[in-house]
Structure 1
Amino acid sequence: MKLMRVGPFGAERPVVRLSADDHRDLRPITPDIDAAFFRYGGLDRVRQAVESNALPRTDITGLRVGAPIARPGSVLCIGMNYAAHAAESGAAPPEYPVLFYKAPNTVIGPHDTVRIPRNSQRTDWEVELAVVLAAPARYLDSPEDAAALIAGYAISNDVSERAFQLDVSGGQWSKGKSCETFNPLGPWLVTPDEVGDPQALGLRSWINGEPRQDSSTADMIFSVHFLIYHLSQYLVLEPGDLINTGTPEGVALSGRFPYLAPGDEIEMSIDGLGVQRTVVAAAG
């Protein structure tokens, strides 16, 4: 299944996409795709309603596409999870997963405007495979236990301001990660049965139509399932939480490309998860 939220920011309504011209209204089941939806069996209720053809069709033509999940409780991010990206950042591959947080209010729709913050010097892009939790994860016994806890996958752009992240960080990265609009997400949340192996997905990014990143999740240092297992040893993951699993090489931090500027268009895709396109503007 492909879950979506459409409508004005803050007033999105939930939809399931069955095909390009067949969308079904999920409001008979849930007011939103949020933590409560996942915690109380929302995915199973949607599957049953789809199978019984119980959901009304809805026309989403011309509507804004929002993030496919409502504001998550936590946005957990993994740094340097591709060896080539670690190298272009000037770092050795990590021995353990590097964890940092983004503010949940950074999450926006897949086609919303990305705003370069005031005093920005080096705003950068990062295409990432995002994972959403369907159930709590705490003290998992093995990475294999993680698969049953995944609600779905989406495209995430972990937008980063490198001067904020590195030069004035004080030792932590979140200043450069939590600026407004710094996490476009979507267009869809795709359930695991449609995705298959999360370690066999191509992921790509373009700036103004020019290729930047072109890699595969097969190149992750730490797999999706291992990341969930590992994080569960240190914190409790909640339904609806979002995990950004790291970005491959090809970002501006490498020195090979210019940083983002107002008017730039960012395009990203991951196999089976759709395409997101955002335009860059200066913060008001």
Structure 2
Amino acid sequence: MISAANPLVLVGAGNMGGAMLNGWLEAGTDPATIVVLDPKPSGAMAARLAAAGVRCEASAPEGLVAGILMLAVKPQIMDAVLPGLTGLVGPKTVSLSIAAGKTIAYFEERLGGAVVRTIPNTPAMVGRGITGAVANAAVSAEAKAEIDTLLSVCGPVEWVEDEALIDSITAVSGSGPAYVFYVVECMAEAGRKCGLPADLAMRLARATVTGAGELMHQSPDDAAVLRQNVTSPNGTTAAALAVLMAEDGLQPVFDAALQAAADRSRELAG
């Protein structure tokens, strides 16, 4: 679907757009099939584009029609950006959004045609992300497969049929890295209160969470099984889990937090 004549047009080469671009190039995507639209790429990104031979423009060139139009700008500026992109959309163009809170209907109204809405997360920047995705009826099976391949360079893709589920995906994985980072902050602070130097407590917390994440990544076991494997009867871990897993422990806090995130996602979508 993408070609030099109908390229993959990336609008915005910031953190997420840049992560996707790096993944495509590392996966062997032909630079001649990519065009970046960004009026002010960072110095590092500009150098990356030049070294790879990827065309970069400040605005949409006349006569260019995208095969895939990937929208990687902040939701707050989407209204200002989209009017300048309508000329890029042809009968076979698929508009692909990674912007939180912008619905398929929003893009159908402004760009028309085939639309895929996604919610990636920031671990995509190190190739360990996960992306939730939903397509409208105008997206062909061929286009969906190609988009799946493009998104997969940064981690697995989970497709859903019901767009309403994107709000819940946003709550779990889109916003989820921030919860993990905050858990690290809390563990480090608790360690400090137990008498550890603050810098040592933070190093221990960071290494523990990243190590546990990698163990879970590599293990076929469920998270519950991995938890049980660490927990000796009447031991130190069991004592801590008795607090975390109490009726008023961590689960109701996460229930309320993720519901708040999902509700906010729906509010942003209007």
TM-score under structure 1 normalisation?
A: 0.25
The structure whose Rg is larger is 2
More helix by share: 2
Using CA pairs under 8 Å that are at least 6 residues apart, name the structure with larger relative contact order, 1 or 2: 1
